Structure formats: structure tokens, C-alpha cells
A = this chain, B = another copy of it.
Amino acid sequence: MTGTSDAEAPAPSRTSPPIIAVDAMGGDNAPSEIVKGAVMAVRELGLRVLLVGRRTEIASLLAEEGALRDIPVVHAEDNLAMHEGALASWRRPRSSAAVSCRLIRRGDADALVSAGSTGGIVATSTVRLRTQPGVLRPALAVTLPTGETPTIMVDAGANADAKPEMLVQFAHLGCAYAQTAFGVRRPRVGLLTIGSEPGKGNKLVRRATELLSATAEGSPSMDFRGNIEGHDLLARKVDVVVTDGHTGNVALKSVEGTAAFAMDLVRDALTSTAAAKAGALLQRKALRRLRERLDSETYGGAALLGLNGTVVIAHGDSRAKGVARACQLAHDLAGGRIGEQIRRRVHHRSSNWLHRLAQSEAPPPSPPGALPPAPEGR
């Protein structure tokens, strides 16, 4: 198969289910839990998966699971360490993440799933997959554990310093996600800020409010609801929460940290006295369901939106179940053609100033050193 030489060429149309390249070497529990997760994705969820990483290591793990014939392995001799940030990742063209991106560009895969370091995966996939036409910056979208139809937050950390025009696009990216993964036709969008009244917030939010109000007015595909606050994140007030990567990342981790803290308190409270312990025995099932509800593993991973290919980043400490869930999310997004959704929304909705800005903006951030232009061969 020949590689496509233009990163912006549309992905080949497929009617068959999407193929998910799983980065076997990324994550605290790689490769063993990652391989188990891939096997789970194939056997229990019926997905099409291939594993990318050191062939012999992966093969022996697959053999243990009796899955050597079920999942193809693509060799990659290098991998990104968990502590490695954006810069290092640019210098590793043979990492499992980089090789996975190459598979996507060639049309041999549709999506990448990795539990590697977020910074490294964002940098690697941004530079190797490139942003879709008109998209200023890719953004991380996460789902908050609000129930049946989760609330999506964009950006959860890819862009620490954002501009108002980027927040407008994050809204479109989030809406495309809500429509593709959860079938929400006209997602409700809220801007995360410090007060519910219009005009509250920092300069970035105030300007983004004006732009979003103008963009969304009368739109059949976005219902802009104005400001929302931190305590609304889990209250199902909106389908898409828009924020910059700094605020979004802090908010997400505050939610996760508080949920973990509350669960610890519950456990302590319920085992503090003999009577309470007896009570806890009676509640085992109820508490297990509660734990699952607050457990981040049940919510797939973060999706990096706006690139020429679907990228899902699972929690660094993911175990097999988390990896399988991330594969399911990648399958849903790639299978639902989220790329086309985004293209339509960004092209259709963007007014002229956004296009001009996109044109004048430099292409996706390049490394300070020289990177050979998107290596194709091994």
C-alpha cells in the first residue's frame, strides 16, 4: 500500500468497521495490560484492532491470551517514556505512537489509542497527522461522569494558552463529538467561567462569549447557553463545556480528585464502627455500582479532536478494561466519521475572520529543531 503524500487528503471512504491501532508500549501498565485490553476489545466488543510496538514482546503476551491469530502486530522499535514531553516525542519517528500515526496516514488504520503521556501523544499526533483544514488547534475532549449522556469538556489540556477564536472552534469540535458519539443533534454548549451572568469572567471568556453568541445564533446544530460554573460540570446543564486547556485541565483533575477523596471518606465512614461495618456488608452491591460510576476507567479516554485521524488517549494508569473502553470510543468516533462532522461544522460555521485567522496562523506547532517532513518509510 502506498502512503498518501498529503496529510490533508481525505481519509479513504470505508464501509467496513474502523481499524484501531493500539499503542502497546504507552502507559504505566504497558505492554501487558494494553495487550489484554486489545484482546478484550476484539473478543468482548467485536472491534477491529491491531497492536503497535515491539513485536516479540507483544507476540508472547498475545500467545498467553491465546490471541496470536486474532490481532495483527505492527513492529515499532522505539517508544515514548511516560515522563517524556512534547519535545522528546518529536525526535522519535520510530516510536509506537509515531508508527501508529503513519498507519493512519497511509489508510491502514483509522484511529490511534494510547495510554502514553498526554503531552507526548498530543505532540506526536499533531505533527504527524496534522490538523484538519481550517482547524486552528487540536483540542482534548473528555467526558464527565454525569450519567447516561455524558457532558463533554473541550479543551482538557492541549492548549494552555488559548485565544477566543479557538474557544469558538472548541465548541464546534465538542458538538461534533456529542453528535457522533451520543447522537445529540443540537448540543447545548456552555462556557466555563466564574459567574452565571453574562460578562462575568476573564478577557478570554468575555470575548469568546461575544463570538459564540454571534456564531450560534439561529444555528440548527448548536444551542449556546452562555456561562456555566464549576459546580455545573456534573449537573447535566449542558452537553458541551467549552474552556481553555489550563482551566479545563485544572477543573477535570479537581473533579477527579474530589471524587476520589469523597470515596475515601465514604469508605472510612462506613468502616469506622462495628455497626457501620455491619451496615457496609449489606450495601456491597450499591457501593460497587457507586464506585463504578465515579471510576474514570469506565469513561473511555480523552479524544484529541481536529486532526486527520481519530486519536484517543486513555488514562496513563489504565488497565485492560480502560484500554478496551478507549478502543470503543475510538471505534464510535471513527465509525461515526467525526472528521467529516468537524469539517462540515468548521467550514460551514466559520465566518470570514476565522478563515483569515486560520490562513495567517502558522501550521501546527513545529519543533524548534528540524523534523524530517513526515517520514513515510520505516
Query: What residues of chain A have their CB less than 8 Å away from a CB belonging to chain B?
Result: 83, 85, 119, 157, 160-161, 192-195, 197, 200-203, 205, 229-235, 243-247, 249-263, 265-266, 269-270, 272-273, 275-276, 278-283, 285-287, 289-290, 293-294
Which chain B residues lie closer than 8 Å to A290 at the CB level? 265-266, 269
Measured CA separation A132–B229 after assembly (Å): 31
Known: A202-B160, A231-B260, A266-B290. A250 touches B283 (CB 8 A): no
Of A200, A203, A263, most B-chain CB atoms within 10 Å? A200
Q: A157 contacts which chain B residues (CB < 8 A)?
A: 194
Across the interface, do A276 and B269 meet the contact criterion of CB distance under 8 Å? no
Cβ of B261 and Cβ of A194 under 8 Å apart? no
Is B269 in contact with A253, judged by CB distance below 8 angstroms? no
Copies in the complex: 2
- Taking a contact as CB atoms under 8 Å apart, the answer to whether B282 and A276 are in contact is yes
Q: Choose from B202, B257, B282 the contact partner of A279 (Cβ within 8 Å).
A: B282
Q: Can you add 13 more A-B contacts, CB < 8 Å, to A231-B254, A262-B263, A273-B286?
A: A160-B205, A194-B246, A194-B249, A202-B244, A230-B249, A230-B253, A231-B257, A233-B258, A262-B262, A266-B290, A270-B283, A279-B281, A280-B283
Q: Which of A205, A261, A281, A293 has most chain B Cβ within 10 Å?
A: A261
Residues in B with CB closer than 8 Å to A85 are: 197
Minimum CB–CB distance from A295 to chain B (whole Å) comes to: 12
- Once the chains are docked, how many angstroms separate the CA of A202 from the CA of B83? 19
A240 to chain B, nearest CB (A): 16
Q: How far is the CA of A281 from the CA of B276 in the complex (A)?
A: 9
Nearest chain-B residue to A118 (Cβ)?
Answer: B195
Contacts of A289 in B (CB 8 A): 269
Q: A201-B160, A257-B234 are in contact. Are A282 and B278 (CB under 8 A)?
A: yes
Cβ of A28 to closest chain B Cβ, rounded Å: 15
Which residue of B is nearest A275, CB measured?
A: B282
* With A194-B249, A201-B246, A266-B266 as contacts: A272 and B256 at CB distance below 8 Å: no
Query: Which B residues are in CB contact (< 8 Å) with A195?
Result: 119
Supply 23 A–B pairs (Cβ within 8 Å), ascending by A. A85-B197, A160-B201, A160-B205, A161-B203, A193-B250, A201-B246, A229-B249, A230-B253, A231-B260, A235-B257, A235-B261, A247-B250, A251-B254, A255-B257, A255-B258, A266-B290, A269-B286, A269-B287, A270-B286, A275-B282, A275-B283, A278-B282, A280-B283
Which one of B251, B282, B293 lies within 8 Å of A250 (CB-CB)?
B251
Q: Are B254 and A230 closer than 8 Å at their CB atoms? A: yes
| A283-B197 Cα distance, complex, nearest whole Å | 41
- Cα-based distance from A283 to B85 in the complex (angstroms): 47
Contacts of A282 in B (CB 8 A): 275-276, 278-279, 282
Inter-subunit contact A160/B194 (CB<8 Å):
yes
Residue of B whose beta carbon sits closest to that of A244: B202
Q: A269-B287, A270-B283, A272-B286 are in contact. Are A261 and B234 (CB under 8 A)?
A: yes
Chain B: CB-nearest residue to A253: B230
A83 CB to nearest chain B CB (Å):
8
How many angstroms from the CA of A126 to the CA of B203 in the assembled complex? Answer: 21
Residues of B within 8 A of A254 (CB): 230-231, 233, 250-251, 254-255, 258
> From A249, which residue of chain B is reached at the shortest CB distance?
B194
Q: Of all chain B residues, which has the CB nearest A261? A: B234
Which chain B residue shows the least CB distance to A250?
B230
- Cα-based distance from A265 to B161 in the complex (angstroms): 35
Q: How far is the CB of A197 from chain B (nearest CB, A)?
A: 7
With the chains together, A195 CA to B160 CA distance in Å? 11
